[in-house]
Structures are given as structure tokens and as C-alpha cells.
Structure 1
Amino acid sequence: MSANIRAVSHIAVGVRDMASALRFYRDFLGLTVSLDQHERRGRERGDGSAQSGRRAVYLRLADHDDASFLVLDQQLDHEAEGGPRNLFDAGFHHVAFWADGLDALVAAAPGAGVTIVHGPTWEDSASWGECSGHLIRTVIFRDPDGNLVQVDSRRDG
């Protein structure tokens, strides 16, 4: 018997600088923070701090059961290594969101210090695994940690 996958539960994104990540995902993209917590792993030291842990910020795309969400994960006990990824590198190479108001987001990018990697362009819906002949507007941004974030819209404006 196979599972009936209905939706994406969440996507976890490792970040080096939570303040910069929040400026991108919360302030620029407009996702809503539902939880911001420090999660400890391991024994506590004598000063009450954890030997290892993370700061996890949960950002909701909508407010209902089964709504997809994003978790920004900053490891507190070590520095993240590596540079920005390129589109189509191995592993998860980007995350994409459906949105309205894509053109306003594109216009706000320079003032927010957000880099546009691709677009905005209108592309055929066949690239989304749909029947050809419908247009989808798309743009790809780079977040502060170099992750690629695509935003798609079926409508302009």
C-alpha cells in the first residue's frame, strides 16, 4: 500500500544569519512567523547554555491544517560552510512559491538588497508539468545564504 501524498508539509532551510534570513523570508517575501525558538540538544553546561542546539523559526504560508510552512534553521554550535549553490546542483536546488503581486515583489527587490538571478519572465505552463498554452510569470531570487528561491504567479501585478 502506498501513501497518499497531499501536500508539502514543510521545507527546512539552513541559514547562517537568522536576521538576514528573516529580512528575506518574512520582510521581503511576506511569510508569517508562527514560532521562533531555541532548541537545545545534548546536556546543558554549568552556565545553563546548551552544548549544541539551533534556532528554528517557523514561517507559515497560510493559516489552516496541512498548510505548507518553512523552517529556517540556524545551527548555534558551529559555522555553516560553503558558498552559494547554483541552479540544478545536486540535492534540493531551489524552493518555489505561488504568489500574487509578483511584479511588486520584483520592484521591491533592489531596495531590499535582494538579488534577482533569473527573470521575471513569462513561461509556458508546460514547464510546470501542465498542459501547454498557459503563461506563468516567474522570477528567481537568491536569499542571503545563497539559496535559490523561485516565485511564480498565474497573474501579473
Structure 2
Amino acid sequence: MSPHIRAVSHIAVGVRDMAEALRFYRDFLGLAVSLDQHEQRGRERGDGSAQSGRRAVYLRLAEHDDASFLVLDQQLDHRADGEPRNLFDVGFHHIAFWAEGLDALVAAAPAAGVTIVHGPAWEDSTSWGESAGRPIRTVIFRDFEGNIVQVDSRHDG
């Protein structure tokens, strides 16, 4: 029996600077933090700080069992060259959210220091794998880590 996929569970985004990531995803996009988790691994240094670990901040898009969520994942342990471990080097192409109030978000971008890469623009629904003729308004931002974040709306504004 093949699985029936109902929704995206979550998307994990590796970040270098959690404060900057939260400024974009929580403060600018308005996603709600449901958990801010610090996991420590290894032994403590002389100053009491952990040698290695992870900080994961979970941001919810809605509150129901199958609601998609985003995990901002900051690795606190690094390779000898200072870079994150290989698993977190992979990244993603882009992430896209459905939203209302797209024009207000675009208007807020300059004051928030957010870069608009494309749009806002109306595009045909074929770009979303749907049949033609259903216009979708879209804008593409760059988050503070350099990732591409798209916000789409089926409604004006």
C-alpha cells in the first residue's frame, strides 16, 4: 500500500545566526514560535558553555495536527574549519508560503531591512502546477542568511 501524503510536515532550515533568522521568520513573516529548544552534547568547557549542541526554534503556520511548521536549526558545533557539519551544508532551493496581506508585507520590507528579489507580480497558476487561468500574486524575498523565501497569495493585497 502506498502512503497518502496529506501535507508538508515541516521544513528545516540550517541557520548561522538565530537572532537574524528569527528577525525574518518571526518578526517579518509573523510565524509563531511554538518551541525554542537548546540541546547540548559533549562536555562543558571551563567557562560553563557546552562544547557542542544545537538550538532549534519551531515556528508554526497554524495550530492543528497536520499544520506545517518550520524549524530553524542552528548547529553550535562546527568542523575544524568553523563550518557547520555536512548534513547542514545541503540547504534548499527555496521555501514558499501562502499568505494574505501580501502588499502590506512588501510595504514593510524596506523598514525591516528585507531584500525583495522579485515582484510583487501576478503570475499564472500553471507555475504552481495547476491548470491555467487562476492568477497568483507572488513576491520573492531573501532572508538574512541569503535563502530565497517566496510568499504567494490568490487574492489581491
Fold-level similarity (TM above 0.5): yes
Number of the residue aligned with 1:37: 37
Change (3 A) 1:46 1:110: closer
Q: Report the CA distance between 1:70 and its aligned residue.
A: 0.2
In the alignment, the residues of structure 2 paired with residue 39 and residue 124 of structure 1 have an alpha-carbon distance, to the nearest angstrom, of 44
Match of 1:112 in 2: 112
Cα deviation, 1:55-111, whole Å, max 9, x if unaligned, reads 110000001111000000111122447xxxxxxxx9630000000000000000000
Residues 1:29 and 1:80: Cα distance change in structure 2 (over 3 Å)? farther
Q: Report the 3-state secondary structure (helix = DSSP H, G, I; strand = E; otherwise coil) of the residue aligned with 1:73.
A: strand
Aligned residue for 2:103, secondary structure, equals: helix
Matches within 5 A, 1:6-155: 6-41=6-41, 43-45=42-44, 49-78=49-78, 79-80=82-83, 92-155=92-155
In structure 1, stretches of 5+ residues that fail to align are 82-89
- Partner letter of residue 154 of structure 1? R
Residue 128 of structure 1 deviates from its aligned partner by 0.5
Percent identity for Structure 1 against Structure 2: 81
Counterpart of 1:85 in structure 2 is none
The CA deviation at 1:156 is 1.2
Corresponding residue number in structure 2 for 1:86: none
TM-score for both structures, normalised by structure 2: 0.88
TM norm structure 1: 0.88
CA distance in 2, matches of 1:46, 1:32: 33
CA contact (8 A) 2:11 2:69 kept: yes
Alignment coverage as a number of residue pairs: 148
SS in 2 for 1:127: helix
Q: Whole-Å Cα distance in 1 between the matches of residues 122 and 15 of structure 2?
A: 30
Q: Is the 8 A contact 1:123 1:136 kept in 2?
A: yes
1:16–1:80 CA contact under 8 A, matched in 2: no
Q: Tell me the amino acid that sits aligned with residue 64 of structure 1.
A: H
CA-based RMSD of the aligned residues comes to 1.7
